[in-house]
Structure 1
Amino acid sequence: MFERLFPRRKPEPKQLPQPNAQLALGALLVRVAFADKNYRATEIGQIDRILGQTFDLKPIEAAKLRATCEALERDAHDTPTFAKILREEVDYAHRLALGEAMWSVALADGHRHEQEEIQLLAIETALGLTDTDIEMLRTKATGTL
């Protein structure tokens, strides 16, 4: 009865920040972890470590950044848009290191998942990595030829 008299207002949606290299990287790391539809604590921890080390953040700051990146990944841009930001702001050697970091997220749960590898290939390609470097990253991460 009171619901009809005093309907609840939906909260205003939070404005997402404009993505920069930091947010684009975090969103892509989250995208890799979500690719298999199973977002595990080990993957979350790995994302936090990568963000903390890459941007010299304390654990709480890295977790807050990851939370923002989760919202951005869910509600915002597509992979090519995030990758374009990184291509424009990060040199090739560092983009190669980002590819390695993404593999560490994909394998953080101890399993290889086809969906994650497909997502990784799309991201690595969008980052402008060469086929040779993409193969080298896969081989290095998985230990397979």
Structure 2
Amino acid sequence: MLKKFFQAFRPQQQTTLPDPDAELALGALLVRVAQADRDYKLEEIRLIDRILARLYQHNAIEAAKVRATCEKLHAAAPDTDTFGKLIRETTDLQERLAALEALWEVVLADGNSDEGEIKIVEEARIAMGLSYNDSQAARERVQSRLDAD
């Protein structure tokens, strides 16, 4: 069903994208957050690669390939809900909390939390079935790690 949904939004001549799973959905959300301020920096790309490597045990090259696929999925998908619901339906609570924390990691990485970035995290949080308190706790954990560095 999701495959047909995504195919409806992409031109016919493009290479077929894989069916998204929780990893690709999270990666696409990370890309979406990083691009929300219309300034997709190399530092954000590297951070997304590190997050994907850490969460899914990829080496640097594998993580970069996954991120590149996620960039294409992000461009093809019309809304954040689709990815958040996929994560909710295919992962347990701990993995969803880790995904939320990863989203905050991208938002807070540059020291500026753009309103558009926060909106995407909030939409993803709701779609993943997580509470506002879960989000605030995830944000505080990420901020604590950043302050310690």
Fold equivalence (TM over 0.5): yes
- Give the CA deviation at 1:134: 1.8
Maintained 8 Å contact 2:83/2:124:
no
Which residue of structure 2 lines up, in the alignment, with residue 51 of structure 1? 52
- Give the CA deviation at 1:79: 1.3
> Any unmatched runs of 5+ in structure 2?
1-11, 145-149
Percent same amino acid at aligned positions? 47
Which residue of structure 2 lines up, in the alignment, with residue 96 of structure 1? 97
Which residue of structure 2 lines up, in the alignment, with residue 128 of structure 1? 129
- Give the CA deviation at 1:38: 1.0
What is the distance in 1 between the residues matched to 2:35 and 2:106? 10
Per the normalisation by structure 1, the TM-score is 0.84
User: Aligned residues, how many?
Assistant: 133
Per the normalisation by structure 2, the TM-score is 0.82
- Give the CA deviation at 1:115: 1.2
> Any unmatched runs of 5+ in structure 1?
1-10
Letter of the 1:124 partner, please give it. Answer: R
Q: Which structure has the greater CA radius of gyration?
A: 1
- Give the CA deviation at 1:69: 0.3
Deviations 1:59-92 (A, max 9, x none): 0110011000000100135211111111111111
Letter of the 2:112 partner, please give it. Answer: H
What is the distance in 1 between the residues matched to 2:140 and 2:64? 30
Q: CA RMSD in A?
A: 1.7
Matches within 5 A, 1:38-117: 38-117=39-118
Structure 1 residue runs of 4 or more that deviate by more than 6 Å after TM superposition: none
Which residue of structure 1 lines up, in the alignment, with residue 5 of structure 2? none
